[in-house]
Chain A
Amino acid sequence: MIGILGELLITAGVLVFLFLAWQLWFNDLVVGAQQNQAGVSLAQQWRVSTPSTPSAPATPAPSPSDAPQDFGAPSIGTAPANAVQFAVMYVPRFGSNYARSISEGVSTVQVLDKNGIGHYPGTQMPGQVGNFAVAAHRTTHGAPFNGLATLQVGDRIYVQTQDGYYTYQFRGLEYVRPTGVGVLDPVPQSSRTVPTDRVLTMTSCNPMFSAAERIIAYASLKSWQPTSAGPPAAIQSIIAAKG
């Protein structure tokens, strides 16, 4: 009798450790790879269907670069329906082939646990004056923002939509309480200021494996280039890679 009870307890312990290993390591790798794959294929889909910008002249071989040209005011898309993937984020600091899709909405089950990065509804769109605010897991479920605290000032964060490429530059981190919605303001933490900057705000959990606080990363728009101009040099190889 005691022997059976002991075996049951040991089995329960093994099951708990198995679940932890699955959640924190195995599933993270699997889901992360799936999300990256989804991001790359979304980017390649846009590359194939490029002739959506009628005003852009057909430049046959655009030299890919980090936007030496001025393409004027960035094109602003409209937010899609909930859970629809409408953009891809590239962060070289997170890995040389990092490409994760951005979906509309921050629903845990529909977006954050599945697609990865979610866009706060009601905040601005990529390139728009104001605040393009997104959220993602820092641990588990593919952990798109796992490396958020490793960003260094000046790091590039590329956001691609059907219209083009928005190059953001990382400015700094902030730590807030879970109720700190001020980070979503058009001018973060300054709700009454009229925005003039184009800001990207990334939120995730802090500390890792906890929900006690939120880590916030801010970046501001540095340049923009339309799809016809080709991707910035830093992310060109990811998009060109075979899907």
Chain B
Amino acid sequence: MYGALWRLMPGPIWLRVVLMVLFFAVILAVLILVVFPWLNTFVNVNDNTVGQ
């Protein structure tokens, strides 16, 4: 999977490395800005109020 991704990247090795880093940076940003906050609303393992 990651090997295929590496072969998909164009250009010399240094460009491939840069592109891969960019690729994972974008994925990380999407995770932090969108996916994780959304997921977090379902993870209520720490209720802190008393109630019936």
Contacts and interface: CB of A to CB of B under 8 A. Distances in A.
A19 B50 contact: no
Determine the main DSSP class of B at the interface with A: loop
Contacts of B46: 137-140, 205, 208-211
Interface in A141-191: 145, 176, 178-181, 183-184
A22 to B, nearest CB: 5
A203 interface: yes
A23 B40 contact: yes
B51 A179 contact: yes
Given A7-B1, A23-B40, A176 B48 contact: no
Determine the main DSSP class of A at the interface with B: mixed
Contacts of A208: 46
A181 B52 contact: yes
Contacts of A112: 48-49
A181 B50 CA distance: 6
A132 interface: no
B36 interface: yes
Nearest to A137: B48
A87 B17 CA distance: 51
Contact of A214 (B28, B37, B39, B48): B48
A135 B47 CA distance: 10
Contacts of A3: 1
A25 B21 CA distance: 23
Interface of B: 1-2, 28, 31-32, 36-37, 39-41, 43-52
11 contacts: A7-B2, A112-B48, A138-B46, A179-B51, A179-B52, A181-B51, A181-B52, A203-B48, A203-B49, A205-B46, A205-B48
